[in-house]
Amino acid sequence: MVDIGIPAYLVASAVTGILSQRLVRRICDNCKVEVEVSEDIRASLEGFGIERIDKFYRGTGCPKCLNTGYYERIAVYELLRMSSNLRKVLSKTTDEQELLIIARKDGLKFLYEDALDKVKAGLTTIEEVISKVPFDYSLREI
């Protein structure tokens, strides 16, 4: 909003939160099986928290899911709450990195983290998350 000319103080006082969302396909419960994930996938997502996932799942395909392995969709979220700390800093700077660090201290969970939690819960596949959710390498340091 600041980039399009809205003064930072107005953004800080008017915005209560910003929600980012992606839809991913849900694994079909009727044909869900545990699978191994490739070392390539593990290596490419190292540092994002994939190390914490013990079991991965996918659907093998059945009449319920029309042999796709997926049935319906679920949302993955990132909710940035405008905390009092963030409000104070936003009136002084619009540096994205600095704002993200403060939001993180205030409990911001990144989109990819929510997505990986849903992989861990067996709701969606790691392949689906990789294709639909951005993995920003700069966020790993925050």
Judge contact between 136 and 97, C-beta under 8 A.
no
Structure tokens at 104: 């993180």
CB closer to Zn ion, 37 vs 62: 62
Which residues, 69 to 128, sit near Zn ion by CB under 5 A?
A: none
Helices (H), ranges, 8-123: 8-14, 39-44, 84-90, 96-105, 111-120
CB closer to Zn ion, 28 vs 50: 28
Tell me which stretch binds Zn ion (CB under 5 A): 27-35, 45-53, 84-92, 112-120: 27-35
Which residues, 29 to 58, sit near Zn ion by CB under 5 A?
A: 30-31
Q: What minimum distance in Å lies between the beta carbon of 62 and Zn ion?
A: 3
Residues recorded for the chain: 142
